[in-house]
Amino acid sequence: MIAQAASLVQFFDFDNTAVRKDGLSALGGTHAMRSVQALLTAAPILLQNHASQSATEALAAALDVRVVDILAAAWNTRRELRQYLDRSKYPGDQIIDHTLAKHDIRSSHHPRLQIMLDQSPIGPEIEFEVTVGLTLESAILRIRDGRIMGARTGRVFGTGTIKCEGAILFSRPTKAVTLPLTISFGAGIPIGQPIATGTPLKADAA
């Protein structure tokens, strides 16, 4: 896995069979999942397994968010970066290296799952709460033409949880996050504009 492409799947070790099994077992104890299972009690075992498979696939899709995109979404909210939108002071061809001291980033999103059978909903909608906390010792943002083109970071540490109905399904203790020394954002991220990650994401930097 290339470090820049690493997503929350790796962050929460969701690829680990034992970790995933424990998380899904905790999900099975929630009211929403018990309701689904009760409705499928008389159904063939294949359909009963469908509920667990749907939950696994939904969580995998919800975690398909790159860690570097969380960083970018949070950095893009910083007010001091908006000064670089003034082309009279910062021409489009000027390169700026904006330094950030130690700072924290908090991200959260709330994916939902509705299990379906023959195009009809089975049980209540299941909502997950995914929260991520990152601490960066430092970062240097490369800015040009009102866009964040890339970044260099110091050491990064991360922690996080995935919950359902208040129950913790997955938990990551605070530990180092592997990122490339230099992060590239391709054509650049327009400062102050929402970032398209494919997942509704709230990220803030402090």
Instruction: Give the pLDDT of residue 5.
Output: 77
Instruction: Give the pLDDT of residue 53.
Output: 82
Query: Are the CB atoms for 161 and 133 separated by under 8 Å?
Result: no
Q: Give pLDDT tens digits for 110-159.
A: 999 988 877 888 888 999 999 999 999 999 999 999 999 999 999 999 99
Strands of the sheet with 147-153, listed across from one edge = 95-100, 139-144, 147-153, 182-190
Helices then strands, counting H and E runs in the chain, come out as 5, 13
Angle at alpha carbon of residue 132, lines to 85 and 112, rounded to 5°: 100
Bridge partners, 152 (sequence order): 140, 182
Question: Average pLDDT by consecutive 10-residue portion of the chain (206 residues)?
Answer: 77 93 92 87 76 85 92 93 95 96 95 85 90 96 96 96 95 93 92 72 63
Instruction: Give the pLDDT of residue 39.
Output: 84
Q: Enumerate the domain spans of the chain.
A: 3-205
Instruction: Give the pLDDT of residue 6.
Output: 87
Please tell me the pTM assigned to this model.
Answer: 0.86
Instruction: Give the pLDDT of residue 181.
Output: 86
